Amino acid sequence: MPGNTLTAPGAPDAVTPAAHPRRWLALAVIAISQLMVVLDATIVNIALPQAQLSLGISDADRQWVVTAYTLTFGGLLLLGGRIADYWGRKRTFGVGMVGFALASAIGGLATTGGLLFAARALQGAFGALLAPASLALLTVLFTEAKERAKAFAVYGAIAGGGSAVGLVLGGVLTEYANWRWCLLVNIPIAAVALLAAIPLVPESRAHGDTRYDIPGAVVVTAGLVSLVYGFTRAAEDGWDAAATVGFIAAGLVLLAAFVLIELRSSHPLLPLRILLDRNRGGAYIASTLIGAGLFGAFLFLTFYFQVVLRYTPVKAGLASLPVTAGVLLAAGVASQLLPRVGAKPLMVAGAVLAAGAMLSLTQIGVDTSFVTHLLPSQVVLGMGLGFTFVPLSSLALVGVPEHDAGAASATLNATQQVGGSLGTALLNTMYTSAVTAYLVGRIPDPMNQVKALVHGYTVAFAWGVGLIVLSGLATLLLIKVRKEHLATANAVHMG
C-alpha cells in the first residue's frame, strides 16, 4: 500500500515493518481518544441527578442514560473491530471520533429524556468503532515487544485513571457550569485528537475476506435492548405484566436466534468455539456477572451521595474516588501475583472482597459516616474489581488461536458492557419496586421519602451482592487453568 500505510502483522505478504517514526506522538493522540471514551462512562454518572431533574426523567427510565450507551457499545464492539480491520483502522478511528463528537453534541443539547437516550446510544455505537480501532492501531504502531508493553501500559493507565478523572471533571462541570457540559466537553477533545491524528497516525488494514456479520450484530443488540426494556417495564407494571413478560421473552428469543446465526455464518461475529472452552466460558460468565453486580451499584452510590447526603456534584465526584484507588492498588498487586498463583485464587478473592464491600453498603442509613463506613467499603470494592479484572484479561486469551485473539479480547470487553447494562436495569427495577413498597401504608412526609430512597439503595446493593457471589461460584466451578498456561497466553498476546 502506498504512503505510510502499515501492513498488519500476520498478513500473507507481511514483512517486519520498520518502526513508525512518530509512533509515540501517535500514541498520545490515541490515548486522548481512549480517555474520551472512558471519561464518558463516569462523567455522566455524576451529572445524572441534575439531568434527570432537568429533563423530567422518571426513576424507572433514568438507567437508560447509562444502558443506552453500554448496550450499543457492547453489542456492536465485535462488529466495530471487524470494520476497523478491513475498512482501515485510521479511517474507522476518524469516523468514530467525528460520530462520537456529534452524538455528544446532540446529548448535550437534548430537550427531552428520549433525545438524551438516543444520543447516548449513538455515542455507544461510535465508541464501538473508536475503541477497537485505537487498540488495533497500537498493535501495528508498536511492533517491538518492549515498546509495545510500554504502549499498552500507557493505554491501560488511561483506562484505569480516566474513570477517576471523569468523576472529578463531571462534578466540576455539573456544579460550576451545567450538566450538559459533561457531554459537550467531548467536542473540543475530539477536535484536537482528530486534527492531530490526520498527520500523525498511519493507516493500516487486515488482508483477506471483508464480509461482515451484520445480521448477528443487529439481532444480538436488539435482543439485549429488549431484555433491558423488559426489566424497565417490570419497575412500572410488575414482573407478571404482559409487556414485561413479552419483552423479556422476545429478548431471549432474539439471543437464541443470534446463536443460530453464528452457527451458520461463514464469518461469524462471535465464533462460538471461543465461548465453548471451559476456562474462557467461565471467564465470560464471571465477567458478565461481576459487571452486572458492580456497575449498577455505582449509579446508586452517586444518587446516595447527592440526593440523601446532599453532597455537591464536586464533593460526590471526590467521594467516589476511593473505588478507583482500590482498583489501582489491587491491579498492581494482582499483576505481580498472577504469574505466581494463577487466575482462579485472585478472582475468587476479588469476588469475596467485592461481595463483602457491597454487603457493607447494604447497611447505609440517612446519615452514614463517610470516613468510617463509606470510604473503607469503596476501597475494598475497588480492590475486588482489581483482583477480578486483571486475571480476566489473561483468561480470555488462554488457548486461543492467533486469528481469534482479537475476537476473544473484544468478547471480554463486550461481556463487561453487557453485564453492566443488564445489571443496571435489573438493580434499578429492584430499587424502584423497593421504594414503592416501603411507602405503602406510611405517611409520605419528607423523612419517610428519604428513608424510602435509602431502603431502595440497600435493596439494590443486596441484589448486587447476589450477582457477585454467583460470579465467584462461576469462577470456582468452571475455571481450571493453571498459572503456566497464562504465561503462554500472554506471550501470544504480546508477541
Compute the distance between CA of residue 284 and CA of residue 290 in angstroms, rounded to an integer: 10
Cell 509512533: give the residue.
23
Mean pLDDT confidence for 25-41 = 82
In a domain, 12, yes or no: no
Our CA angle for 295, 301, 307, nearest 5°, is: 140
Does the structure show a pLDDT above 80 at 349? yes
Task: Round to the nearest angstrom and report the end-to-end CA distance of the chain.
Answer: 24
Percent of the chain residues topping a pLDDT of 70: 89
Q: 428 and 330: one domain?
A: yes
Q: 384 and 251: one domain?
A: no
Residue 237: domain span: 214-266
Q: 64 and 48: one domain?
A: yes
Q: Helix, strand, or coil here: 436?
A: helix
Compute the distance between CA of residue 210 and CA of residue 212 in angstroms, rounded to an integer: 6
In a domain, 379, yes or no: yes
Compute the distance between CA of residue 201 and CA of residue 71 in angstroms, rounded to an integer: 29
Q: 183 and 223: one domain?
A: no
Q: 144 and 98: one domain?
A: yes
Q: 368 and 259: one domain?
A: no
Residue 492 pLDDT: 41
Residue 56 pLDDT: 95
Report how many domains make up the chain. Answer: 3
Residue 253 pLDDT: 97
| Nearest Cα to Cα of residue 180 among 55, 96, 301, 57 | 55
Residue 187 pLDDT: 94
In a domain, 38, yes or no: yes
Higher per-residue confidence, 403 vs 386 = 386
Who contacts 473 (Cβ-Cβ below 8 Å, separation ≥6)? none
Compute the distance between CA of residue 6 and CA of residue 330 in angstroms, rounded to an integer: 37
Residue 109 pLDDT: 96
Does the structure show a pLDDT above 90 at 455? yes
Q: 164 and 227: one domain?
A: no
Mean pLDDT confidence for 387-409 = 75
Of 162, 183, 204, the residue at which a domain comes to its end is 204
Q: 24 and 140: one domain?
A: yes
Mean pLDDT confidence for 244-255 = 95
Secondary element (H or E) of residue 435: helix 405-439
CB atoms within 10 A of CB 394: 22
Cell 456492536: give the residue.
76
Q: State the virtual CA torsion across 145, 150, 155, 160 in degrees, nearest 10.
A: 120
Of 204, 226, 243, the residue at which a domain comes to its end is 204
Residue 2 pLDDT: 36
Compute the distance between CA of residue 48 and CA of residue 455 in angstroms, rounded to an integer: 20
Higher per-residue confidence, 228 vs 409 = 228
In a domain, 111, yes or no: yes
Burial of residue 214 (number of CB atoms within 10 Å: 0-12, 13-18, 19+)? exposed
> Are the C-beta atoms of residues 254 and 227 closer than 8 Å to each other?
no
| Nearest Cα to Cα of residue 26 among 198, 147, 159, 153 | 198
| Nearest Cα to Cα of residue 235 among 458, 463, 432, 460 | 432
Compute the distance between CA of residue 34 and CA of residue 156 in angstroms, rounded to an integer: 9
In a domain, 310, yes or no: yes
Cell 419517610: give the residue.
448
Compute the distance between CA of residue 397 and CA of residue 492 in angstroms, rounded to an integer: 8
> Are the C-beta atoms of residues 292 and 419 closer than 8 Å to each other?
yes
Residue 485 pLDDT: 57
Q: 131 and 227: one domain?
A: no
Mean pLDDT confidence for 230-235 = 86
Residue 137 pLDDT: 81
Backbone angles phi, psi at 143, to 5 degrees: -100, -15
Q: Which long-range contacts link 155-158 to residues 24+ away (Cβ below 8 Å)?
A: 155/27, 155/30, 155/31, 155/34, 158/31, 158/34, 158/35, 158/38
Residue 371 pLDDT: 96
In a domain, 233, yes or no: yes
Secondary element (H or E) of residue 184: helix 181-184
Domain CATH code at residue 123: 1.20.1250.20
| Nearest Cα to Cα of residue 311 among 181, 167, 187, 442 | 167
Out of 71-85, 91-105, 137-151, 382-396, give the one with best mean pLDDT: 91-105
Compute the distance between CA of residue 310 and CA of residue 269 in angstroms, rounded to an integer: 46
Q: Given pLDDT bands bounded at 50, 70 and 90, which one contains residue 38?
A: confident
CA distances from 461 to 26, 53, 105 (A): 42, 24, 33
Residue 9 pLDDT: 41
CA distances from 190 to 133, 179, 220 (A): 15, 19, 29
Chain mean pLDDT for the chain: 85
Backbone angles phi, psi at 4, to 5 degrees: -100, 25
Does the structure show a pLDDT above 80 at 124? yes
Residue 491 pLDDT: 42
Least confident of 12-21, 283-292, 336-345: 12-21
Residue 113 pLDDT: 95
Q: Given pLDDT bands bounded at 50, 70 and 90, which one contains residue 275?
A: confident
pLDDT digits (tens, 9 = 90+) for 53-72: 999 999 889 989 988 998 89
Q: 280 and 242: one domain?
A: no
pTM of the model: 0.84
Record the cell numbers describing residue 314, joined without a space: 464536586
Percent of the chain residues topping a pLDDT of 90: 43
Residue 10 pLDDT: 41
Residue 411 pLDDT: 83
Mean pLDDT confidence for 148-164 = 71
Does the structure show a pLDDT above 70 at 34? yes
Residue 160 pLDDT: 61
Q: 476 and 411: one domain?
A: yes
Compute the distance between CA of residue 305 and CA of residue 307 in angstroms, rounded to an integer: 6
pLDDT digits (tens, 9 = 90+) for 180-190: 999 999 999 99
What is the separation of C-alpha 155 from the centre of its chain, rounded to a whole number of angstroms?
A: 15
In a domain, 298, yes or no: yes
Higher per-residue confidence, 436 vs 411 = 436
Compute the distance between CA of residue 20 and CA of residue 463 in angstroms, rounded to an integer: 50
- In eight-state DSSP terms, residue 403 is G
In a domain, 419, yes or no: yes
Residue 13 pLDDT: 44
Out of 130-139, 256-265, 293-302, give the one with best mean pLDDT: 256-265
Record the cell numbers describing residue 452, joined without a space: 424510602
Mean pLDDT confidence for 468-483 = 89
Q: Given pLDDT bands bounded at 50, 70 and 90, which one contains residue 15?
A: very low
Of 266, 291, 307, the residue at which a domain comes to its end is 266
Who contacts 373 (Cβ-Cβ below 8 Å, separation ≥6)? 360, 363, 364
